[in-house]
Amino acid sequence: MSLEPQFALADIRIRVQRDLTDFLAKQTLYLGEIGTELIPAAEAINAFLLNGGKRLRPLFAYCGYIGAGGEDDDSIIRAIASLELLQGCALIHDDLMDASDTRRGQPSIHRRFEMIHQRDELSGSAANYGASAAILLGDLTLVWADQMLHDSGITDSQLVRSLSIYDEMRVEIMAGQFLDIHEQALATQSVARSLKIARYKSGKYTVERPLHFGTCLALPAEERRQDYFTIFSEFGLPLGEAFQLRDDLLGVFGDPSITGKPAGDDLREGKRTVLMAMTQDRANAKQEAIIAKYFGDRELDTEGVESLRAIIEETGAKEHVEELIEKLTLTALDALNRDEIPPAAHSLLTELASIAMGKTP
Amino acid sequence: MSLEPQFALADIRIRVQRDLTDFLAKQTLYLGEIGTELIPAAEAINAFLLNGGKRLRPLFAYCGYIGAGGEDDDSIIRAIASLELLQGCALIHDDLMDASDTRRGQPSIHRRFEMIHQRDELSGSAANYGASAAILLGDLTLVWADQMLHDSGITDSQLVRSLSIYDEMRVEIMAGQFLDIHEQALATQSVARSLKIARYKSGKYTVERPLHFGTCLALPAEERRQDYFTIFSEFGLPLGEAFQLRDDLLGVFGDPSITGKPAGDDLREGKRTVLMAMTQDRANAKQEAIIAKYFGDRELDTEGVESLRAIIEETGAKEHVEELIEKLTLTALDALNRDEIPPAAHSLLTELASIAMGKTP
């Protein structure tokens, strides 16, 4: 750890990218040997996964590993990079469920295959073809995550002891996603339920569980693992929530050139975020009527987006969420001031928190 | 192995069922603790997985394990039962992609949640809610398969050495499924392509790979594993193809009370099976015109189904497929006549082949 933390993290990100590139190149060859018809599928996953992304989950896993006393090794980079494939599955399926057309400024997987269907004048429904391709490529990416972890070159005992957190993390994200689609289908929204969904769907899975995963790679169960689990939960849960709340703000107020999605897309989708739950809690009758009219209208124009944005600001929900983010981030950082966290890991985690919160690139 | 093979297999099936029931009960509790909204999700998976099914993949894996010299153990039953969860994911996602309303005489998962949406008068589109639920529950079932395997109680070395075949099997099934949806979208059909899809989508995954998985559980890499891989491929590949061809016949000529699907459903879906590819290869101009008119018509009535069935018989495609099934099954059984296969395993595999081919219940 002789580098400054931001350089050290940038270096890990480069190694993760290189390992993902290598892994996907190998799998692309393998699929191509089964049938050339599979090459567009492999290419789509390559384009989707290798083009952008902050690699937050691998980076948090790396910090968990170093924080709990692990020593840098190439096999660890491959093991943590697998979390990016898991995230790939979540995004591919999420885009399909949300009917999102774009991701990181590129067509989402189902849209990409819809367009291939149209371009090649294939028979049947282009939308069904796109949806089926996205379901299968999401599944494949989930299996590839396992495969990348299994073949990472970590020791058998590292692998075996990392699996239970790895499984738990995956069950939690599916559970969170299910709670989310259920919430979208309810007539009313609640701040408490939205907070829980944010916690499961994104908070735990982005920060806390990757840190725990790294801890398991570093330490056998008998060796003070529980101490690190506790510290990393105290750091990871509030930071993960702050991260999700920030995502809520970006979905409404974010710059499309940064988010890769059209401005106000969450408003058109009618996405039931914590931010919107808080807005609805505070809205007066007139504001409620405007929300009822515009929120979730797929065809909403810029003016409609602007009037919803105005309500989110006028009710004080935006400011409240911003304060909450600030508070949660401070609570998280405070949890790192413990003797168990070596200074190098402390710097890495502080820096990474700032990257996650969009304060450093 | 003192029992007659059919009793021995029935006994394994009961133990698999018990372990699946226990595992799912535990996961249902766990999900319920996250949120009561998740209970319908857990119940749906319970109903889908515990209600019927021949448990062919666990049984083949068990035979592979015993065949390669393994000794019966409860942990092995849990490990092989996980294949049924994997199959659950494949079926849930497959039903969604095929827009199949029923499975084993019950509503498919997406239909079930569509109906819940309607019953509870939830907001938004019932079809989207059903589709999202099926995507997520398929993903969850895939993760649960891993979890059941990881927590089965097999030794670390058994676990680690089984993972590469387990991963390969999963990649193959996703690849086969992708080839299948792509084939459905092409303007013309080919017997060669259909055979390859049948092999990847179902053949390898139903017989050969479960046998290899069982072999890995029984033997470390250095101990003659390759011999068993070879024998089980010589048995499993033709049997798997025969199994898939039989499935093609059932989809067209099968009794709905046995298949759990409406009669002639594959014809209405326009499913591009080997049987249909052979029919189209042999059809004259008049028959071709009828196929073009009726095949893939979702609203096709009984008379239309009958005229397609007649063509499949008249062209000789049905008879040819029946002969092929017979030939492939004999080739498979012949591969078992090897000294490496102990007599008890020989009886089990012969009996299981007959169950797979629908000759014994």
Tens digit of pLDDT for each residue in B187-197? 778 899 999 88
A332-356: average pLDDT: 93
Pick from A353, A352, A313: nearest CA to A329: A353
Count of CB atoms situated within 10 Å of the CB of B360: 13
Q: Which of A19-23, A28-32, A145-149, A357-361 has the lowest mean pLDDT?
A: A357-361
Instruction: Answer yes or no: do B185 and A139 touch at CB < 8 A.
Output: no
Higher pLDDT pick, A224 / B18 = B18
CA distance A120 to A123: 9
Q: Which two tokens stand for residue A318?
A: 């935006």
Q: How confident is residue B361, by pLDDT bands cut at 50, 70 and 90?
A: low
B118-144: average pLDDT: 96
Q: How close does chain A come to B258, measured CA to CA in Å?
A: 28
A80-107: average pLDDT: 93
**Each residue's pLDDT tens digit, B275-304:** 999 999 999 999 999 999 999 998 999 999
| Mean pLDDT for chain B overall | 93
**Each residue's pLDDT tens digit, A26-38:** 999 999 999 999 9
Please check whether residue A109 touches B, CB under 8 A.
Answer: no
**CA-based nearest residue in chain A for residue B141:** A171
Q: How close does chain B come to A15, measured CA to CA in Å?
A: 24
| Residue from B121, B132, B158 whose CB has the most chain A CBs within 10 Å, to mutate | B132
Instruction: Answer yes or no: do B131 and A182 touch at CB < 8 A.
Output: no
Please check whether residue A39 touches B, CB under 8 A.
Answer: no
Please check whether residue B343 touches A, CB under 8 A.
Answer: no
Q: Which two tokens stand for residue A226?
A: 């529980």
Q: Which two tokens stand for residue B18?
A: 């018990």
Instruction: Answer yes or no: do A200 and B163 touch at CB < 8 A.
Output: no
The upper half-sphere exposure of residue A342, i.e. CA atoms within 13 Å in the direction of its Cβ, equals 12
Q: What's B187's DSSP letter?
A: S
Please check whether residue B118 touches A, CB under 8 A.
Answer: no
CA distance B282 to A333: 72
Partners of residue A188 in chain B, C-beta under 8 Å: none
Max CA pair span of chain A: 64
Does position B118 have pLDDT exceeding 80, yes or no?
Answer: yes
Q: Would you say the C-alpha torsion B268, B273, B275, B276 has a positive or negative sign?
A: positive
| Residue from A86, A182, A272 whose CB has the most chain B CBs within 10 Å, to mutate | A182
CA distance A295 to A317: 16
The long-range contacts involving A194-199, CB below 8 angstroms and separated by at least 24 positions, are A194/A272, A194/A273, A194/A274, A194/A276, A194/A277, A195/A241, A195/A274, A196/B35, A198/A241, A198/A244, A198/A245, A198/A248, A198/A273, A198/A274, A199/A237, A199/A240, A199/A241, A199/A244
Nearest 5°: the CA angle B61, B67, B68 is: 95
Please tell me the predicted confidence (pLDDT) of residue B115. 97
Interface of A with B in 119-138 (CB under 8 A): 122-124, 128-129, 131-133, 135-138
Q: Which residues contact B2 (CB under 8 A, 6 or more apart)?
A: none
Pick from B9, B133, B106, B93: nearest CA to B52: B106
**Each residue's pLDDT tens digit, A295-320:** 999 899 999 999 999 999 999 999 99
Q: How confident is residue A361, by pLDDT bands cut at 50, 70 and 90?
A: low
Q: Are A83 and A44 in contact (CB under 8 A)?
A: no
**Each residue's pLDDT tens digit, B46-77:** 999 998 789 999 999 999 999 999 999 999 99
Q: Are B352 and B63 in contact (CB under 8 A)?
A: yes
Interface of A with B in 212-241 (CB under 8 A): none
Q: How close does chain A come to B171, measured CA to CA in Å?
A: 6
Q: How confident is residue B37, by pLDDT bands cut at 50, 70 and 90?
A: very high
A7-36: average pLDDT: 95
Partners of residue A174 in chain B, C-beta under 8 Å: 136, 139-140, 143
What domains lie within chain A, and their CATH numbers?
A: 5-356 (1.10.600.10)
Instruction: Answer yes or no: do A140 and B178 touch at CB < 8 A.
Output: yes
Residue B106: enclosing H or E segment and its boundaries?
A: strand B106-107
B22-30: average pLDDT: 97
Interface of A with B in 59-88 (CB under 8 A): none
**Each residue's pLDDT tens digit, B87-99:** 999 999 999 999 9
Q: How confident is residue B263, by pLDDT bands cut at 50, 70 and 90?
A: confident
Express as a percent the part of chain B with pLDDT over 90.
Answer: 78
Please check whether residue A113 touches B, CB under 8 A.
Answer: no
Please tell me the predicted confidence (pLDDT) of residue B226. 86
Instruction: Answer yes or no: do A139 and B136 touch at CB < 8 A.
Output: no
**Each residue's pLDDT tens digit, A114-141:** 999 999 999 999 999 999 999 999 999 9
| Residue from A82, A97, A143 whose CB has the most chain B CBs within 10 Å, to mutate | A143
Nearest CB to B124: which of A151, A160, A184? A184
Partners of residue A122 in chain B, C-beta under 8 Å: 185-187
Nearest CB to B31: which of A96, A123, A175? A175
Q: How close does chain A come to B98, measured CA to CA in Å?
A: 9
Please tell me the predicted confidence (pLDDT) of residue B14. 96
**CA-based nearest residue in chain A for residue B271:** A124
Q: How confident is residue B163, by pLDDT bands cut at 50, 70 and 90?
A: very high
How many whole angstroms from its chain centre is CA B303?
30
Please check whether residue A164 touches B, CB under 8 A.
Answer: yes
- pTM for this predicted structure: 0.94
Please tell me the predicted confidence (pLDDT) of residue B2. 56
| Mean pLDDT for chain A overall | 93
Higher pLDDT pick, B144 / A264 = B144
Q: How far is CA A306 from CA A248, A277, A279, A293, B101, in A?
A: 16, 18, 15, 13, 42
**Each residue's pLDDT tens digit, A156-202:** 999 999 999 999 999 999 999 999 999 999 877 889 999 988 888 88
**CA-based nearest residue in chain A for residue B94:** A132
B257-263: average pLDDT: 74
DSSP-derived 3-state class of residue B116 = helix
Q: How close does chain A come to B144, measured CA to CA in Å?
A: 8
**CA-based nearest residue in chain B for residue A162:** B150
| Residue from A168, A178, A209, A216 whose CB has the most chain B CBs within 10 Å, to mutate | A178
B139-158: average pLDDT: 98
Interface of A with B in 272-301 (CB under 8 A): none
Q: How confident is residue A360, by pLDDT bands cut at 50, 70 and 90?
A: low
Partners of residue A140 in chain B, C-beta under 8 Å: 171, 174-175, 178
Nearest 5°: the CA angle B75, B78, B84 is: 160
CA distance A56 to A61: 9
Does position B1 have pLDDT exceeding 80, yes or no?
Answer: no
**CA-based nearest residue in chain B for residue A183:** B37
